Structure 1
Amino acid sequence: MIAELQQAVANYAHALDELNVPELETVLTEGTTWTFTMPGQGMLGPVAGRAAVLDFIRDGHTAQTGRVRHHLGNVVVTTTNAATAEVRAHLLQTRNTGESTQIISTGIYTFSLRRSDGRWQIAELTLTLDNAL
């Protein structure tokens, strides 16, 4: 089960970076919520519902320059049962413009996942950034 949960959050990161909307639709519950905390800027969100989250992601991709990657590390399953789980992971976000590569931000993701139709999906995502973007 732990490997399935780690795979679910890895699938999220890959789909996010590639703007793979069909994959994002399968990894997010219909009622998913996203909340972000940024130093000096407070809390953003929650962004509620799959459609609103996908719009938020599309807007973010439109605004970004270069190739942005979300690197998840130290992925740990902290609680789990047959239907729900919580996964925490460190974030290292980078941007590659072709001329330079930079670290954009670091932080901690907390994913609350639910099992539905034999697949783990993100029901709630909380991101606490260590620095403002």
Structure 2
Amino acid sequence: MTARAEFENLLGRASWGYDEADPDLIARCFADDARMSLRIGRDGDLVGPFEGRAAIRALHADSMAAQTDQRRHNLSNLWVDKETDDGATVVSNLTLLSIEHGAIRVLSSGWYRDELTRRDGEWLIADRYVYLDLPY
């Protein structure tokens, strides 16, 4: 598998983990010492950083527990900003869908900037910045 395919696989797996309410799968996509932060809107406050795999897992588990809908994270326009043998910066667009009461709607759009690290032959998310255009 090419490095780009591995990047896509990793980011897709993290999205799938959220959509299928599997915080352990999400956590396995992050390095032990990973960081994650997010911002909603250009003038929104920075939320986080959440530091460490356990904190990132808890953030996702708590978010999932508060939701009544089915979420679908759709990643697109993925591009590699930089890449070395043991690190990469990958940017992708996000379209966040909600399915509830027989209807589907767009909750928000935005993007991810993921700093990836290669450890013991496996690509992991070392630092994730999430930008959402709208609150949901």
TM class by shorter chain equals over 0.9
Q: 1:71 aligns with which of 69, 74, 80?
A: 74
C-alpha contact (below 8 Å) 2:90/2:114 kept by paired residues: yes
Instruction: Specify every segment of 5 or more residues in structure 1 that has no aligned partner in the other structure, as ranges.
Output: none
Q: Deviations over 1:55-110 (max 9, x none)?
A: 11011001112101111011111110000001100000010014211100100100
Equivalences for residues 1-133 of structure 1 within 5 A: 1-39=3-41, 40-133=43-136
More deviation, 84-93/36-45: 36-45
Instruction: Specify every segment of 5 or more residues in structure 2 that has no aligned partner in the other structure, as ranges.
Output: none
CA distance in 1, matches of 2:32, 2:19: 20
SS at structure 2 position matched to 1:132: coil
TM-score (norm 1): 0.94
- TM-align CA RMSD: 1.2
Identity %: 26
C-alpha contact (below 8 Å) 1:35/1:44 kept by paired residues: yes
More deviation, 9-18/20-29: 20-29
- Count of equivalent residues: 133
